[in-house]
Structure 1
Amino acid sequence: MPGIEKREFITLFNEMFQPVKNYVYYKVGDIEVAEDIAQDAFTKVWEKRSEIRLKTVKSLLFTIASNLCKNRFEHQQVVFEFANNYSRNQWEVSPEFELELKEFNAKLQQEIARLSEKNRTVFLMNRIDGFTYREIANNLGVSVKAVEKRMKNALTELKKTIEYKL
């Protein structure tokens, strides 16, 4: 009979939260994000507790966490693409310039995806969402100096990997 009782869920949480959080941390590289995603995975299990079998819930937790990681990354890419397309469509440009810009944007997106999660998060929050360093620090629960360092690292890495040809 499917279903997880409250006491079984509490036991499951106490036993599996740390392993799920570690799994997510290895995927995203940011401990705060890993904790949030692990909590979200457990929330989803709790919401569907009447349909879930205790026997299979552990593997389900890892599957849910993996999907949440993927969804988060895809959302960041969509936001980045929208911001690039919106600003680009405000000007009329030659077809050659448009092609170069598309190639540059593709390379830039590829390189942003290769940044560590901490650096990528700070970069996207500042450059796409328009948050100040202080706002980013407050949102991530880190110091402004940590945000400055992450942004510097992100920009340094991007400069190393992208040839600017405009």
Structure 2
Amino acid sequence: MRRKARDRAAAEKAYDQAASHCLPHALVSKPADDGITTWAGLPFALLFLEWEARYPEEWTRHAKDWGWKQWLIRELATADHDDQVKAKLIDLVDLVVQRPYRCKDREYVRVARAMDGAELRGRLHRAHQSGNSWAERHAGYVLWLLDRPEAPNTRHVWRTWLAGTRTC
């Protein structure tokens, strides 16, 4: 009987390992002690956020989960990533600043602060001068926050910034 239990446990472990690389299990199976950079679900998490950024209406119909979006963004903003993941995160910030605000988009400031550099700032400056009124405001605000790492990213700060001088 013990052998059956061991075999079953080994089979369950192998199944869980394989499932951790497939949807939807990969998105919900991140062990607490694993870093985000080694998480098997990282490609799916990036795809989930890109789906929301590029196709918000479709995402809302089929996958809407604001809490999950917020959690993923916060996790991704606190880790060291390879160049490919950094490029994807910069793309996401660029996409988000160029569209009307959606729930939890403010969390992307965390990503911008973590990915701050010439590539991101160049894109933000282009968005700020794009002629798209939302992109101009949003990118300007993110640039302003990047220059002030001590400033909190709150609704109050956003409203105060909007009411005042909006220069980068």
Q: TM class by shorter-chain length?
A: under 0.3
- Normalising by structure 1, report the TM-score: 0.28
> Comparing both chains, which one has the higher relative contact order based on Cα–Cα distances under 8 Å and sequence gaps of 6 or more?
1
Instruction: Decide which structure has greater helix share.
Output: 1
